[in-house]
Structure 1
Amino acid sequence: MITFSGASPQGAGTVAGKVFVSVDAEGLPYIVSPLQLMPGRSLFSELRSVATRLTRLAAALLVEQGYSVVVADSHGLMVNIEPQQMPRGVEVVRGFPRSLSMVAGARGSSYAVFLGYHARAGVDSVLAHSFSSRVVYRLTVNGLEASEYLFNALLLGEWGIPVGLVAGSGELGKEVEQYTPWAVWLPLSRSTGYLSSVSPSIEEVEEDLREAVKESIRRSRAGELKPLRMAWDAVEVCIEFMSPAYAETAALMPGTARDTGRRVCYRAASVEEAYRAMEAMVYLGGFTALLTQQMR
């Protein structure tokens, strides 16, 4: 359980600021199968139910404390949350593809919440991947193996936005503690394989999430949260693709350099530029992945 000293509500009509909530899927409790991950799949309703339930809980607590809230639906086609279930005072960013995918709508926030986040590609953890399980074998940012959590936190940090709460796959915890130790960390599942995990009851998950949100509010108001910033003169993002065919297509993007059969890099002047380059390379590689699949 997470303990906290409590957060006092703002005065009536007072807006405390904006909190950005990015909601992924694979780090949510009970999510273990591709059958849960996309609209049209037989178990997609399970993802929609748990994502909506936990997002609503977090958003409602933040609104009660005087914050405006922006929720970014951030998995797959990014239409996983039922927007009509969100409380008044919440804006929902939906749809894919979109620029700055998982952090679209974050600018100007007091702090960010990452909900349902998971471990990076290559980690022994349930459904671990980095932005695209079909396309990306390894992603690095200035030599650091980067999860979605880390790349998103770096971009928000460049914008002056701290990460205040991360909730997701238990195996992500070490990375959160390493890069954003000021953030509240809440494990939602414990991996027992790539397609299996263990989570507590939904009632216990909700209790823990409620306490974690309150603690993030306390830390924000106490000035304990910090934007994640690196002393970098330039930012090189490199993707090692699952197939040389994907790398070949990604390398068509101006400014890229293909240094091995499967790896393509892009050197940027900022994290935001590097993030946009990553998105473009993944989209290009993904197009080739879809094309080659249709030819089989």
Structure 2
Amino acid sequence: MSINVHISIDMEGVSGVVHTDQTGQKGYDYNMMRKAMTLEANAAIEGSFEAGATTVVVNDSHGSMRNLLPYMLDQRAELISGSPKPLGMMQGVDDNSDISMCIGYHSRPGEKGILSHTIRGSSVVQHFYINDKPSSEFEINAGIAGYYNVAIGMIAGDSDIVNDAKNLIPNIIGAPVKATINKFSAKNLSGNETFKLIKNKAIECVENYQEFKPIKYKTPVKMSVEFTSDLMADVVSFIPGIKRESRQVISFESQDYIEAWKCMYASILLAGIPY
């Protein structure tokens, strides 16, 4: 029996990351932390194969989505890199995946957690809503995976997103690699302890992958975005089907979750263009 594993890896939830200077390509510490990101991916890959995975696909899910170091990445895995991608942080989950994992994840705006934000950060997106509920990238991505009947069985990141994920998926396997102090500080596990934790939790996830259930949001699904400025909402409102909820909030409703997601994702990308 084959087991195909999908891994979505972000950067803000990687152990040691506490500031945007570490996550942006122009930051002084960026090159060091992209290596840490790659090593955390490797820990999940190693655990997956040790537990019996047939294939592992890793989707680089941070910023430009060109952060993972291809020649440092475990060569047994396939890498999806670059952006934009239709499924964003979950690209590849629709390709016969049996289970998905989220590594390096973080909380949504307004919640305690390291570098909390949603998709494009506070310069563009203030809040993202699913059926009028403020939602994190994890919650959005759980719906994308669920659309393709794939469950998310593991999450690694700061203590707050791990706890928050359990509200949506009670039996999800959590790997908290750092304890949040505030948005820009944390108590981090050492590198070795981080890799050991992620590997062991990945093993547990793959060995029990059939125990997890895909997330299916109520339809019709309504997705909304609160932008940072009126102008962003002005421009996005040109798109047919978009509803203007208020000066900075737009929404789109559909019977199809992926249709709603693609509309919101395209809207966020459009809003982020300087005018």
Q: What's the TM-score once normalised by structure 1's chain length? A: 0.88
Corresponding position of 1:154: 143
Q: Kindly report which structure 2 residues correspond to 1:9-158, keeping only aligned pairs within 5 A, or say none.
A: 16-64=2-50, 65-107=52-94, 108-133=96-121, 134-158=123-147
Is 2:207 the partner of 1:218? yes
Q: SS of 2:211's equivalent?
A: coil
**Larger radius of gyration between Structure 1 and Structure 2:** 1
* Contact 1:24-1:74 within 8 A present in 2 as well: yes
Query: How far apart are residue 253 of structure 1 and its match?
Result: 1.6
What count of residue pairs does the alignment treat as equivalent? 272
Q: Distance in 2 between matches of 1:61 and 1:125?
A: 26
Q: 1:127 is paired with a residue of what secondary structure?
A: coil
Aligned to 1:201: 190
Report the Cα distance in structure 1 between the residues aligned to 2:164 and 2:228, rounded to whole angstroms.
24
**Contact 1:38–1:77 (CA under 8 A) maintained in structure 2:** no
State percent identity of aligned pairs: 25
The amino acid of 2:145's aligned partner reads: L
SS at match of 2:155: strand
1:47 positional shift = 1.8
Q: Using structure 2 for the length normalisation, give the TM-score.
A: 0.95
Partners of 1:267 and 1:33 in 2: CA distance? 35
For 2:67 and 2:219, locate their aligned partners in 1 and report how far apart those are by CA, in whole Å. Answer: 38
Alpha-carbon displacement from aligned partner over 1:33-57 (angstroms, at most 9, x marks no partner): 1111122321111221110111012
Structure 2 segments unaligned to the other structure (5+ residues)? none
Q: CA RMSD in A?
A: 1.3
